[in-house]
Amino acid sequence: MSIKYYLFWAVFTILHELGHVLALKLLRVPIKQVRIGNLIYIRIGALKISPIIFDSCVEFHEEEFSKKSTLSRVLVFALGPLVNIALLWILPERLVVFRLMNLLIFLVNILPLFSGSDGREIINELVRGFRMERMSK
């Protein structure tokens, strides 16, 4: 993979994680750390960044997060993939490779195939919200 493509992959991944950060900030949920990559990394405050970017996440305070509404919790997990879908549509058609990168990041995150994927977390939050609603009746 050319360094140019890798750098754009990194930028799209960082923008994806910033979508989660934005949602958490709007909901006033404290963020523990933002991890971009997971191998060798540099730590800058609450940001951990690695030159090898294939696994990234935003860690937040679960207690504060659990106090939010189901819709708010779903929004936190959905905003990362929504950033990638927005980039897919915003980027010009001639930048096919970059558009495909965003589609791939979106699909890997939104499909509930992996533990911790945004899609799986969205399903978990919807099920949790449904159970809480049924218990309150």
Q: Which residue stretches of 67-95 are H helix?
A: 70-90
Mean pLDDT on 11-19: 93
Q: What is the pLDDT of residue 86?
A: 96
For residue 40, give the H/E element and its range. none
The C-alpha atoms of residue 103 and residue 120 are separated, in whole angstroms, by 18
Ranges 17-26, 30-39, 68-77, 95-104: which has the least confidence: 30-39
Residue 30 · residue 23 · CB < 8 Å: no
User: What is the pTM for the complete model shown?
Assistant: 0.87
Tokens for 43, please give them. 């730590």
The C-alpha atoms of residue 132 and residue 137 are separated, in whole angstroms, by 9
Question: What are the pLDDT digits (tens) for 69-85?
Answer: 999 999 999 999 999 99
Q: What is the pLDDT of residue 101?
A: 93
Mark 93-128 as b/e (b = at least 16 C-beta within 10 Å). eeeeebbebbeebbebbbeeeeeebbbbbbeebeee
Tokens for 136, please give them. 């309150």
Q: What is the pLDDT of residue 117?
A: 92
